[in-house]
């Protein structure tokens, strides 16, 4: 009983394997492939290589960036041949259920689908909504689908750029449908809109004012309003909502695409109304490719991205300047205390040069 070999209950045992050993292996394991190897793998549709290239792009290590940019540059000529679909809607609208059902319909038609997300630092990335494979169980197991969670926290600009670069890699890997999802809060819809061909707003019918809770701007930039959960006892409400949204759409100025956005209903759960959604997207693509808007929108997006990149760089250069870093907190405090006016503080900081 009192043997020295007895292990008392309640004493935590050390792990059998040194927990640090994993990290050691991690460093030694798998040197980064060469640029040509990444590109070959991606072009062959090798999902492991695609995932590793995306990880490279998402890497915060500055020494990974030149390589990431080379991979991107080599993939760019093979990009552009997909339909990029933006999907937004408030949490609970049924986005993941819809993507699972609609995505399954697309892959069943022999298309290859990549599902990405823009979700900078919200509670959803912490819960790894898209990372959570149970969220889109069937699609996750579908060999024609590739699901990649949001690059996670960071500035919206940074997350958006990485997501766009992931689009390029996925297209070079042969994915011909790309879904980019975001939740219906904040500025992320604009980021998604700036990199997609077709923007779908998923909605649910609610009690009271149907137009409440959805920002007018988001509705205005949508190419399709889709009222989900049109099933069971909710059917009638959904049809009423559809009529209300349809008339609300008439109040918006005609979009430059020449396209008339519609309000439709569907049930992601029962998989009804989804054929109409695909038809709607098809009609949009046919129309805008014929009238030139499809290309024009992509060119405008490229212009937008140029300015985004400049702004991001200017901000980084400014905030990463050690002289600015050293002074910022102090001046901020002075402004907060009312000792210094914000304009003078900003002017002082902007005038700083790194020496």
How many angstroms separate the most distant Cα atoms in the chain?
88
CA-CA-CA-CA torsion sign (141, 146, 151, 155) = negative
Cβ-based nearer residue to ligand GDP, 39 or 93: 93
The residue of the chain with the least Cβ separation from ligand GDP equals 94
The answer to whether 354 and 321 have CB atoms below 8 angstroms apart is yes
Q: How far is the CB of 274 from ligand GDP (least distance, A)?
A: 10
> How many Cα atoms are found within 13 Å in the side-chain-facing hemisphere of 147?
23
Closest to ligand GDP by CB, 125 or 267: 267
Nearest distance from C-beta of residue 145 to ligand GDP, angstroms = 16
Q: Shortest gap between Cβ of 92 and ligand GDP (angstroms)?
A: 5
Helices 274-291 and 95-108, packing angle to 10 deg: 70
Query: Least Å distance between CB 134 and ligand GDP?
Result: 11
Residue of 97, 67, 345 lying closest to 228 (CA atoms):
97
Nearest to ligand GDP of 93, 173 (CB atom) = 93
CB of 267 to ligand GDP, least distance (A): 4
Residue placing its CB nearer to ligand GDP in the complex, 124 or 193: 124
Q: Which is nearer to ligand GDP, 237 or 327 (CB)?
A: 237
Q: How far is the CB of 166 from ligand GDP (least distance, A)?
A: 20
**Shorter beta-carbon distance to ligand GDP: residue 56 or 117:** 117
Positive or negative CA dihedral for 264, 266, 272, 277? Answer: positive
Residues that bind ligand GDP (CB under 6 A): 89, 91-97, 228-229, 231, 267-269
**Phi, psi values for residue 154, rounded to 5°:** 140, 180
170, 205, 188: which is closest to 78 by C-alpha? 170
Nearer to ligand GDP, 113 or 168 (CB): 113
Block residue for tokens 């069937």: 138
Tokens 């494979």 correspond to what residue? 133
- In angstroms, the Cα distances linking 351 to 216, 281, 340 are 39, 50, 16
Least separation in angstroms between residue 118's CB and ligand GDP is 14
Cβ-in-10-Å burial (0-12, 13-18, 19+) of 134 comes to exposed
CB of 123 to ligand GDP, least distance (A): 12
Task: Please provide residue 341's backbone torsions phi and psi, each rounded to the nearest 5 degrees.
Answer: -80, 150
When the beta carbons of 173 and 274 are compared against ligand GDP, the nearer one is 274
Phi, psi of 116, deg, nearest 5:
-120, 170
User: Which CB atom, from 171 or from 210, has the smaller least distance to ligand GDP?
Assistant: 210
Residue 278's contacts (CB-CB under 8 Å, 6 or more residues apart) are: 102, 105, 106
In angstroms, what is the minimal distance from the CB of 95 to ligand GDP? 3
């Amino acid at each position: 009983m009192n043997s020295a070999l007895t292990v008392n209950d309640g004493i935590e045992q050390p792990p059998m394997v040194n927990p640090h050993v994993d990290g050691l292996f991690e460093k030694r394991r798998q040197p980064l492939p060469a640029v040509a190897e990444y590109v070959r793998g991606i072009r062959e549709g090798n999902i492991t290589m695609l995932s590793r290239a995306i990880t490279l792009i998402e890497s915060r290590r500055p020494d990974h960036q030149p390589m990431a940019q080379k991979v991107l540059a080599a993939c760019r000529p093979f990009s552009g041949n997909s339909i990029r679909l933006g999907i937004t809607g408030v949490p609970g609208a049924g986005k993941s259920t819809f993507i699972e059902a609609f995505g399954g319909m697309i892959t069943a038609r022999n298309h290859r689908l990549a599902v990405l997300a823009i979700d900078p630092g919200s509670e959803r990335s912490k819960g790894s909504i898209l990372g959570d494979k149970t969220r889109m169980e069937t699609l996750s197991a579908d060999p024609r689908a590739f699901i990649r969670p949001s690059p996670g926290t960071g500035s919206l600009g940074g997350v958006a750029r990485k997501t766009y670069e992931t689009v390029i890699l996925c297209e070079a890997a042969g994915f011909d449908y790309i879904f980019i999802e975001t939740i219906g809060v904040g500025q992320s819809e604009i980021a998604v809109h700036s990199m997609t061909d077709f923007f779908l707003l998923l909605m649910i019918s609610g009690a009271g004012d149907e137009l409440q809770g959805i920002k007018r701007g988001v509705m205005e930039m949508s190419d399709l309003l889709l009222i989900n959960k049109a099933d069971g006892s909710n059917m009638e409400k959904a049809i009423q909502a559809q009529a209300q949204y349809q008339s609300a759409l008439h109040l918006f100025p005609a979009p430059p695409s020449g396209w008339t956005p519609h309000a439709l209903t569907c049930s992601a759960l029962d998989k009804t109304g989804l054929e109409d959604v695909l038809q709607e997207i098809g009609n949009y693509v046919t129309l805008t490719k014929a009238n030139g808007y499809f290309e024009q929108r992509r060119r405008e997006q490229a212009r937008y991205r140029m300015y985004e990149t400049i702004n991001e760089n200017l901000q980084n250069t400014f905030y990463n300047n050690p002289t600015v870093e050293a002074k910022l907190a102090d001046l901020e405090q002075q402004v907060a205390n009312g000792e210094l006016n914000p304009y003078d503080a900003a002017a002082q900081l902007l005038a700083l040069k790194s020496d």
